[in-house]
Every structure is written in structure tokens, then in C-alpha cells.
């Protein structure tokens, strides 16, 4: 009989380690003790949490529910606020009024109709040259909610539920501590504070144990590498190569600061604000107690002093005092491992790879990786080989599609004011897979059938929000559209206008709802 998986060792804490520990441990809740593997998380007491982006996806709501935490507690203890998407400023032309939204909801009636098709033949004016109503505002209510600083729900909404789809902005350091406490106190995860100094492998190359400075030898049957950029297990011990993506995504540095609000009643944006710069972009994320702000840029196109000055200028514009803020410099190595599961080591988080904090792709990959691991946890070493092959196929595809989607934000720009933007639009820097899709979308709008895999990270609607937010042109189809399609589009657009009117009258300001949750809490189901 094949060797059973009785001991799971997660090496590294932070968001990746503790989400993995939580999902795996929750998977075995209620299972008879003889069948439950031990779960040990080994975390260095000397490695700080990076915690740059602080933005998440709506998937985190499901993750928190599976782990078993209350949304009220999470919001209170992690400085969390509601996120309803992202606003991209100055990405298309660089003008002051240049901006569009990528919301977290599907366009109206998207589940059964692509309203862009009849839109192209005259039902909706936006794609026929009339830019008075931006795409996201015409097809969904969430862009208006973001523009007005509204929350996606009310204080009477049940936990993890709302009138509009939503994610969170959070304090990454507090979040890791919050999940850690829950995992240890309620899910039975063993927590060891120790520095790993060596790895022991058997004749087949499987890791049998790690040696730590403070806790000695820790044996395991399955090891999860959450050691960050160093990738101590998958990269160093197992020798899995790193695929560099800097020829497609140019950013290699981030400068990050934490800026206080002017006062405790200052508005909290219910979306991430991403403002394009000369050779990169600045993120602006509103937490309940502060704003997380940073400049992501390419050192090939701009030096550090100029990048710092652009960040300082942004801070001054929002009323912050740059001289009083500590600015951290964070190197970015854009890319990912060639595969993510080798023998009995699987990488989750930064040890698997990192691209850039655009569209909060880092945390969602942690959730997806940990989720698949927990759902398909191998019972034996033989089963592990099968699941590892499946895991590698799925996540290599996901990483490649994320590279495509992030590049989309850059390559359809009309900016020519710096070499950075000119080179981003150069077809030589665009993956062939994305070039092929762009060719298709010049003649027909994006739709689910354009993707042949069922493991998509970004749905076709996300491509529509970016493309048409940036003024991408899709020609009118010579096939024409049926009266039924036109009627669906007209009805959908009218329904959306009514939905906007209704929601704008009942949704509170983001700040007001966060304050009420801290005071009263949300309803539990």
C-alpha cells in the first residue's frame, strides 16, 4: 500500500501560510480523528510580512466562511473596508479626466446575453462614438456606487452578503495575525516559531523533514512552501526553475507608504485607485485607519529619485505630508515557477511567483491554490503524483492568463508620452495568446466562448470593462443582430438605470457603514 499522508507541514506564515492552514484544517473538521492528518505551520520569528497590496477579490468572502470566521470580527480586527473594484486613472491618454472602472459585478443580463453585440449596431450609443456615458456606468450599477463612495451593503445585510458583489481592502499584517489565532485556537493547527536551516530528502528526492534552529527536526509527508520570494523548498531544495516575465510586465520596484486620513471622518473610497505615471502607476487603498499608497515602476525607464518625487507629488495632492511618512522600497521580480508542485512540495503565494499588485491577483492565487489543495488533499503518495500533475496544469494556465490580463491594461493605451508606454504597446512585448484575442476582439466583443478552459481567473466581462473603458474599438458585425437581441439589450440597459436609482437611494457611505459595523456588528445568518 502506498505511503499515507499523515503529517502536513506548512513552512512560512503570512497571508499565504495562514490561509492555507485555515482551509486545510477546516477541510478536516468533523472527520474522525484517525483519518485527520496533523497540520503544523512553521514560521520564522524574524521574517516580516511584506503586505503591499492589501487588496482582495470577492472570493475571500467564501474563504473566510469556510475557515469559520465572522465578517464582523474580520472587519473590526483587520482594519478592513469594502472594495467594489478598481478605478484606472490616466491609463488611456494621461489626461486629467481620463479614467474608467473595473467593477466586481457582471454587466446587466450577462448570464444570458452579451449586450455588446446589439450595442454595436446602434441600440446603445457608447460603442458608436458617443462617450458621454462610460461603459461600466451604462452596463452595471457598481461604477456609480464607487463614484459616490457608497458601500455595497447596509448594516442590516447578513454577513458576507450584499446588494452588490464586493471584496475587501485589509491590513495584511493584522489579517495574518487574525487568521493565525483562529487556526490555532479553533482549528487545531500546530504553530511553531522557528527558523528553517536545512532540508532532508530521501533517495527519491522527497522531503522527509526540515531542521530548524529553535525547534529541531520537524518531519512531514506533504510540505507547503510559503517561504515568500526565497522559495526555500520548491525553488532551492527541489530546484524548480523560475520563469521571468519582465519582458512582458516591466515593473520591477515598488515604493510604499502608509498615509493617515486628515481626520477620522474622512471618506473611504470603496475601490482601489490606480493612477498611471510616467513609467508605472500608483495604488491608493483606503483602510479604516489609514491609506496604503505606493508607486509601482520600472527602473529601466525611470530612476528612483524621479519615481520617489512622483509619489511625493501624489501624496501632496491628496493632502498628506510626505516628510512625515516612512517610504519602503520593495523589489519586484515579475514571474512564476515553471511548475508549482514537485514530488511532495507544493508552493503557495510568493514562493510560486509574483507579477505586480495590479488587480489583486496575488491573494486570489493564494486562495485558489490553498482551496484546491484542501479540496483534493491526497491521501497517499501515489495519489499525490496524480493530483500534482493536475494542479500544475491548472495553475500554469492561470498564471499565463493573469499575465495576459495584466498586460491588457498597458498594451491598449493611447499614451505616447514616455518610452515605457510606447514599449508596452509594442506587439513584440505582448504574448501571442493576447495578440490573438485582441485580433478577434477588433471584430467581435469578448465573450465566454473566447476562452477554451474552465479554469479562467478573469471572466470575459473583465476584459470588456478594461477594453471599452480604455476606448478599444470593436467594429460592427456585418451579420447584424436579431430583434430579440436588440430588445434584450434595450431592456438590460433600462433595467440598469432603474437599479442605479434604487441602490443609490439606500446604500450608505463606505465610511458610515464601516463605523456602524465597528459599533453594532452585522447580522449573522
- DSSP codes of every residue in 63-104: HHHHHT--HHHHHHHTT-EEE-EEEEESSSS--TT-EEEEES
C-alpha cell at 191: 504553530
pLDDT (0 to 100) of residue 373: 97
- CA atoms of 223 and 112, how far apart (whole Å): 43
Q: What is the pTM of this model?
A: 0.94
Residue of 66, 83, 90, 153 marked active site: 83
Pairing relation of β-strands 38-43 and 328-331? unpaired
Cβ(61)–Cβ(210) under 8 Å? no
pLDDT (0 to 100) of residue 523: 79
Q: Which of 193, 254, 224 is nearest to 47 (CA)?
A: 193
Q: Which of 52, 20, 101, 83 is nearest to 356 (CA)?
A: 52
- CA atoms of 58 and 105, how far apart (whole Å): 10
pLDDT (0 to 100) of residue 473: 84
Residue 265's CB is within 10 A of a number of other CB atoms, namely: 9
- CA atoms of 479 and 310, how far apart (whole Å): 49
C-alpha cell at 524: 449573522
Cβ(437)–Cβ(467) under 8 Å? no
pLDDT (0 to 100) of residue 476: 67
Contacts of 244 (CB under 8 A, 6+ apart): 333, 334, 335
Per the annotation, the verdict on 83 as an active-site residue is yes
Three-state DSSP class for residue 406:
helix
- CA atoms of 459 and 125, how far apart (whole Å): 24
Specify the fold of 7-81+169-246+334-400.
FAD/NAD(P)-binding domain (3.50.50)
- CA atoms of 325 and 318, how far apart (whole Å): 14
Q: In tens digits, what is the pLDDT along the chain, a chain of 525 residues?
A: 368 899 999 999 999 999 999 999 999 988 877 778 999 999 998 877 665 448 999 999 999 999 999 999 999 999 999 999 999 999 999 999 999 999 999 998 787 666 665 444 444 554 444 556 788 998 899 999 999 999 999 999 999 999 999 999 999 999 999 999 999 999 999 999 999 999 999 999 999 999 999 999 999 999 999 999 999 999 999 999 999 999 999 999 999 999 999 998 999 999 999 999 999 999 999 999 999 999 999 999 999 999 999 999 999 999 999 999 999 999 999 999 999 999 999 999 999 999 999 988 899 999 999 999 999 999 999 999 999 999 999 999 999 999 999 999 999 999 999 999 999 999 999 999 999 999 999 988 888 888 877 678 899 999 999 999 998 988 766 555 667 777 777 788 888 899 999 999 999 999 999 999 999 999 776
Cβ(21)–Cβ(39) under 8 Å? yes
- CA atoms of 308 and 323, how far apart (whole Å): 12
Amino acid at each position: 500500500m502506498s505511503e499515507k499522508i499523515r503529517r502536513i507541514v506548512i513552512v512560512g506564515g503570512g497571508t499565504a501560510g495562514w490561509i492555507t492552514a485555515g482551509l486545510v484544517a477546516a477541510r478536516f473538521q468533523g472527520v474522525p480523528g484517525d483519518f485527520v492528518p496533523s497540520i503544523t505551520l512553521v514560521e520564522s520569528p524574524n521574517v516580516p510580512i511584506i503586505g503591499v497590496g492589501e487588496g482582495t477579490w470577492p472570493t475571500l468572502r467564501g474563504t473566510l466562511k469556510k475557515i469559520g470566521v465572522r465578517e464582523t470580527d474580520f472587519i473590526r480586527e483587520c482594519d478592513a473596508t469594502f472594495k467594489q473594484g478598481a478605478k484606472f486613472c490616466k491609463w488611456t491618454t494621461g489626461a486629467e479626466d481620463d479614467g474608467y472602472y473595473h467593477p466586481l459585478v457582471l454587466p446587466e443580463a450577462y448570464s444570458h446575453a452579451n449586450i455588446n453585440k446589439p450595442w454595436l449596431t446602434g441600440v446603445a450609443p457608447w460603442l458608436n462614438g458617443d462617450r458621454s456615458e462610460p461603459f461600466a456606468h451604462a452596463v452595471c450599477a457598481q461604477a456609480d456606487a464607487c463614484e459616490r463612495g457608497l458601500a455595497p451593503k447596509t448594516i442590516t445585510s447578513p454577513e458576507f452578503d450584499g446588494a452588490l458583489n464586493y471584496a475587501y481592502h485589509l491590513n495584511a499584517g493584522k489579517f495574518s495575525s487574525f487568521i493565525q489565532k483562529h487556526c490555532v485556537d479553533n482549528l487545531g493547527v500546530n504553530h511553531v516559531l522557528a527558523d528553517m536551516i536545512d532540508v532532508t530528502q530521501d533517495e527519491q528526492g522527497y522531503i522527509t523533514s526540515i531542521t530548524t534552529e529553535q525547534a529541531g527536526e520537524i518531519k512531514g509527508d506533504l510540505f507547503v512552501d510559503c517561504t515568500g520570494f526565497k522559495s526555500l523548498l520548491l525553488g532551492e531544495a527541489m530546484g524548480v526553475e523560475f520563469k521571468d516575465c519582465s519582458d512582458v510586465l516591466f515593473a520591477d520596484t515598488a515604493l510604499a507608504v502608509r498615509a493617515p486620513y486628515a481626520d477620522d471622518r474622512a471618506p473611504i473610497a470603496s475601490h482601489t485607485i490606480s493612477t498611471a505615471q510616467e513609467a508605472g502607476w500608483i495604488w491608493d487603498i483606503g483602510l479604516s485607519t489609514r491609506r496604503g499608497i505606493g508607486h509601482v515602476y520600472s527602473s529601466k525607464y525611470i530612476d528612483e529619485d524621479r519615481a520617489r518625487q512622483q509619489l511625493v507629488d501624489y501624496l501632496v495632492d491628496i493632502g498628506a505630508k510626505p516628510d512625515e511618512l516612512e517610504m519602503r522600497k520593495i523589489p519586484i521580480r515579475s514571474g512564476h515557477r515553471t511548475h508549482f508542485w514537485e514530488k511532495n512540495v507544493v508552493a503557495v503565494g510568493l514562493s510560486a511567483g509574483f507579477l505586480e499588485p495590479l488587480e489583486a491577483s496575488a491573494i486570489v492565487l493564494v486562495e485558489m491554490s490553498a482551496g484546491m489543495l484542501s479540496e483534493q488533499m491526497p491521501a497517499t503518495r501515489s495519489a499525490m503524483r496524480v493530483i500534482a500533475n493536475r494542479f500544475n496544469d491548472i495553475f500554469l494556465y492561470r498564471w499565463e492568463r493573469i499575465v495576459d490580463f495584466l498586460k491588457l491594461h498597458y498594451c491598449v493605451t493611447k499614451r505616447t508620452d514616455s518610452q515605457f508606454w510606447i514599449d508596452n504597446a509594442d506587439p513584440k512585448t505582448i504574448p501571442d495568446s493576447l495578440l490573438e484575442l485582441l485580433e478577434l476582439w477588433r471584430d467581435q466583443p469578448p465573450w465566454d466562448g473566447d476562452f477554451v478552459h474552465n479554469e479562467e481567473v478573469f471572466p470575459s466581462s473583465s476584459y470588456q470593462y478594461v477594453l471599452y473603458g480604455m476606448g478599444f474599438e470593436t467594429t460592427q458585425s456585418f451579420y447584424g443582430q436579431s430583434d430579440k437581441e436588440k430588445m434584450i439589450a434595450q431592456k438590460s440597459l433600462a433595467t440598469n438605470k432603474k437599479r442605479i436609482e434604487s441602490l443609490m437611494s439606500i446604500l450608505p457611505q463606505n465610511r458610515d457603514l464601516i463605523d456602524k459595523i465597528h459599533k453594532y456588528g452585522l447580522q449573522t445568518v
